Chain A
Amino acid sequence: MSFSAPLMENGFSSPRNESFPAGLRVLVVDDDPTWLKILEKMLKKCSYEVTTCGLAREALKLLRERKDGYDIVISDVNMPDMDGFKLLEHVGLEMDLPVLMMSVDGETSRVMKGVQHGACDYLLKPIRMKELRNIWQHVFRKKIHEIRDIESHDSFDGIQISINGSDLSDDGHMFCGEDLTSVRKRKEFENKHDDVGDHSSPKKHRVVWSVDLHQKFVKAVNQIGFDSKYEVGPKKILDLMNVPWLTRENVASHLQKYRLYLSRLQKENDLKASFGGIKLSDLPSKDPAGSFGVQSSISGNQNDVPNGRYQYSGENFFAQDLDTKNHEGDLKRVVSESTDTKSTLTADLPDPQETRSSQMSFDHSFASLDSEVNYTAIPAQYSWSEAPQFKEEHKPLLQLEDGFSQLPPSGLHHIQIDPLQSASSITSGLSVTGREICGPEKIKPLYAQFNGNHVSLLSPKESAIDSFPVQSKSHMVKHQSFEPISTAISGMKPQGFNLSCITDFESCQRNLISATDTTFAPFNEDLTVCWLQGDCHSMNFELPNVEFTDYTDPGFIAEFPIYLCDTLTSDNECPFDTPEYPIVDQGLFLS
């Protein structure tokens, strides 16, 4: 049942039919079979359509397979294969569905975490049926908000276009352009109501930035960044991307989302930093979902533009979302822009208030759900997204080990690795404003590109330097999480916040564009993640490109090798004093 259609028709003033909310399609995820059975029965009694799932990964798979197949997801917080919060983020990012969390643990901190990650509600077990009866309100509310967004903005920021059929890769969540076109038309005529019945009509769903699209996006950003020094605006990016159905607003809102996301990450990073700063070894390797094993071979994930930070982690990657505009393009089946938008991108980046942003990060971190790729959750404290909060200076290196990435404290950026999250998510909280984004690319190509462009794993210096100036405008953070390998590269964007994340499920890569941080993470198989950051990164969106040039600071480079060594051998903290470095939790891309 498509919920949005009726809403649109009726101006979401009333349910589509009397049966609503009957038939609401619920996906329940819980590793406890007893609870699964009980919940299933309860939901059925509410006349909902229930699908149960015992594993988070499987749930994601189901969700991805049937993109429009569910209206709401209920998930337990503690699951063996993946942290419930990560799942939450993924779902939020990719599918933009309301997610309810459940747990027997009602501790405030847990609940808060749930909310931060974008949960619509947090239910305590034992759950009563009456609590389940009302879950439809979350679905309804969401639709209303979406429509309100559409109505209130000229841009498409709030407009979600859902396109049936994906013209991108099968695992891409990209919606094809036809709906966008029609949405655009709609917008022109200020006609908010489309023919709901037609599946191709825009249902005001979000544009999902699939991996491919994101790649294009990053590429465009990179291109602009390389060619000129001016700031990259959404229009320019759009032009370069040459995706007919995409609108400038889409790009802009994409960026916005990432901004929020990054800012949220930053906030988290800050919190985490307070727990011990960056510790590579803190990665809870136990966390299956997120532990990045150092062993995983790192395929050079690199953002095209090593302008930002690159992180390589065997299995961790940082996804930096610096994206004021949109960066997600390349998340392969991962990022759903809508979620990103909500959460991460907002004008006020540094403030990671949006729960969505956290969702985003989580999402990204899930890049490799199926593999042990762990993201180093780097709480990106970057205030890329916002000038005021911008912590300038991006720390040179961020090492990720087992999900930890430490950013050298050369800059103001805060990068923190979130041990809690590291396990499975790399949050890239970097939001770069005003920078061009290097198009993130799929891991393989990216990697090559990355190498080609600037960063070669082993000789990051040169390339890093090279890339920086060029990239002054845009940062790209790419996080690639491979199942076996994950490397994250984050580019920094000086101004627009572009975050492109690409997740290649197979290869688990993610690209995040982080404009502000020019960390370069050399590819090193043994290295989990390295963030190399220029001296002065102004993660601030508002910062001019000039700041980028700091990246080329040789001193910056010099640190690199040392850093690498250190990270390789131990999980010790980054030689730099990185606590302030926000670690971007890639969580944006799912592989």
Chain B
Amino acid sequence: MERNQMLRQVAVMRQSFFDQGFLDEQFVQLEELQDDANPNFVEEVVTLYYRDSSRQILNIDQALERNPLDFNKLDTYMHQFKGSSTSIGAKKVKAECTQFREYCKAGNGEGCMRTFQQVKKEYAILKRKLEAYFQQVRVQSGPSETACRPRN
């Protein structure tokens, strides 16, 4: 059936996130929190994350434009951003964040800037993927009464 197909598609998509290292266990935690009281919990959280973190990214970008670089500040910002990214289980993004902080500690401005480009890249990729994913999820749950979420 079409619906089953769609379900499968969503499931496959979801699984790929884990297999390819985009998301980690935290995402599953979010899914487990979703219930009748909050049927769209995961999507809400992810949306909140992207909204809040865009501000953080802006801060870092601005801080990276300064001269000389304030590594303490950069580290603080990144710490915040990393904390946020942890909330949705953004694995690759987190890894880049860690790298960034290493460069900060080392006072390596060049490294910071390069890494931050990576951070933003992973951030954007994940965002696209998740948007597509939730769209699918919504499509699926639209017609039905209950929220449809792919589960392993």
Contact = CB atoms under 8 A, between A and B. Distances in A.
Interface stretch (B10-18, B78-86, B106-114, B120-128): B78-86
Interface stretch (B29-37, B132-140, B141-149): B29-37
A41 B87 CA distance: 13
Given A41-B33, A78-B80, A126-B87, A34 B38 contact: no
A31 B38 CA distance: 22
29 contacts: A31-B80, A32-B52, A32-B87, A34-B45, A34-B49, A34-B52, A34-B53, A34-B87, A34-B88, A37-B44, A37-B45, A38-B30, A38-B33, A41-B33, A41-B38, A41-B41, A45-B33, A76-B83, A78-B76, A78-B79, A78-B80, A104-B82, A104-B83, A105-B79, A126-B26, A126-B86, A126-B87, A126-B89, A129-B32
A35 interface: yes
Interface in B61-91: 76, 79-80, 82-84, 86-89
Interface string A36-58: 01100110010000000000000
A34 B76 CA distance: 18
A32 B84 contact: yes
Given A34-B52, A104-B83, A129 B29 contact: yes
Nearest to A76: B83
Contact of A42 (B33, B49, B53, B83): B33
B35 to A, nearest CB: 8
Contacts of A104: 79, 82-83, 86
Contacts of B32: 129
Given A41-B38, A45-B33, A129-B32, 17 more contacts: A31-B80, A32-B84, A32-B87, A34-B48, A35-B83, A35-B84, A35-B87, A42-B33, A76-B83, A78-B76, A78-B79, A125-B87, A126-B25, A126-B26, A126-B29, A126-B87, A126-B89
A33 interface: yes
A103 B83 CA distance: 8
A42 B48 CA distance: 16
Contact of B86 (A31, A33, A125, A129): A125
Contacts of A42: 33
Contacts of B82: 104
Nearest to A105: B79
Contacts of B45: 34, 37-38
A33 B84 CA distance: 9
A125 B89 CA distance: 10
Nearest to A129: B29
A103 B26 CA distance: 15
A45 B26 CA distance: 16
B25 to A, nearest CB: 8
Nearest to A126: B26
Given A125-B86, A126-B86, A32 B80 contact: yes
A333 B41 CA distance: 38
A128 interface: yes
A220 B23 CA distance: 63
Nearest to A128: B29
A38 B88 CA distance: 9
Contacts of A126: 25-26, 29, 86-87, 89
Interface in A18-38: 31-35, 37-38
A45 B79 CA distance: 28
Contact of A37 (B48, B79, B86): B48
Nearest to B35: A45
A395 B79 CA distance: 39
Contacts of B26: 126
Contacts of B41: 41
Nearest to B44: A37
A33 B48 contact: yes
B83 A78 contact: yes
Interface string A108-139: 00000000000000000110110000000000
Contact of A38 (B35, B79, B80, B87): B87
A38 B84 CA distance: 11
A125 B83 contact: yes
B117 to A, nearest CB: 22
Contacts of B80: 31-32, 78
A35 B49 CA distance: 9
Contacts of A103: 83
Nearest to B56: A32
A78 B79 CA distance: 9
B43 to A, nearest CB: 12
A105 B78 CA distance: 11
Contacts of A129: 29, 32-33
Contacts of A105: 79
A31 B76 CA distance: 13
A54 B25 CA distance: 25
B23 to A, nearest CB: 12
A467 B25 CA distance: 64
A396 to B, nearest CB: 33
Nearest to B73: A286
Contacts of B33: 38, 41-42, 45, 129
Contacts of A33: 48, 52
A348 to B, nearest CB: 36
A481 to B, nearest CB: 25
A125 B24 CA distance: 13
A462 to B, nearest CB: 44
A105 B53 CA distance: 18
B30 A34 contact: no
Contacts of B38: 41
B34 to A, nearest CB: 9
A299 to B, nearest CB: 32
Q: Which of B35, B49, B87, B88 counts the most A-chain CB atoms under 10 A from its CB?
A: B87
A280 B8 CA distance: 64
A33 B38 CA distance: 17
Nearest to B38: A41
Q: Which of B26, B29, B89 counts the most A-chain CB atoms under 10 A from its CB?
A: B29
A33 B33 CA distance: 16
Q: Which of A104, A125, A128 counts the most B-chain CB atoms under 10 A from its CB?
A: A104
A18 B107 CA distance: 55
A103 B29 CA distance: 18
A185 B79 CA distance: 53
Interface in A453-492: none
A31 B80 CA distance: 9
Contacts of B29: 126, 128-129
A304 to B, nearest CB: 41
Contacts of A76: 83
Q: Which of A33, A41, A128 counts the most B-chain CB atoms under 10 A from its CB?
A: A41
Interface string A153-190: 00000000000000000000000000000000000000
Interface string A340-364: 0000000000000000000000000
